[in-house]
Amino acid sequence: MSLDERRAAWVQDYLWYKQRQRAQPPRDSENSTPVITPKPTVSRFFWGRTSLMHLETLDEPLQRTANRALGWGIVDFAIIQGWRNEAEQNRAFEAGASTLRWPHSKHNIVNRENGVETPAAQAFDFLPYVGARPVAWTDIAAFSRVAGLIQAAGAVEGLRIRWGGDWNGDGRTTDHDLKDYGHVEVT
């Protein structure tokens, strides 16, 4: 579905919802209780071209997790890194953005089927957005909100997700040397 089609679907859903709010709810004839018709679910946030490119490099359960987290429509975010090749991973290590060299990071996982390797990263880096603007890298609260959504979406998908802002999951962001607030990975 293209971005324009998604926007049109969202507008249709919004108009449908507003119309339902104005209309008297239908009644069940037996006990005269209102019949609730669920609202169609189309997120107000959409993946951009770069996020889609990185999303495709993730393993399928992590793709579903990211889609679910964005689809809830609570907080907007972009995927800024999925799978990393050898040069990218070693550059991240040299810059201090990773503690692991190639091929030991969860960004470096590949599936091997029928002699073909395809990226299947079990980690991605994200950047929260407010409006149409990315938040500052120092806005830990914004990163924390997105990470919490991704962890909740992971739980729904049956995945345990670790956030780079709280590696040991104790609820504190200050007890780690590597503070990678825009990173999540499957554990």
- For the full predicted model, state whether its pTM sits above 0.85: no
Q: What's the pLDDT tens digit per position in 11-20? A: 666 565 556 5
DSSP secondary-structure letter at 58? Answer: B
**Residue 10 reports pLDDT greater than 50:** yes
DSSP secondary-structure letter at 168? Answer: T
**Residue 176 reports pLDDT greater than 50:** yes
Centre a 10 Å sphere on the Cβ of residue 102 and count the other Cβ atoms it contains. Answer: 18
Q: What's the pLDDT tens digit per position in 29-76? A: 555 555 554 444 556 899 999 999 999 999 999 999 999 999 999 999
CB 164 within 8 Å of CB 178: yes
The domain 45-186 is placed in CATH, from the list 3.40.1000, 3.20.16, 3.10.50, 3.30.1380, at 3.30.1380
Domain boundaries, the chain: 1-42, 45-186
Mean pLDDT of 68-88: 96
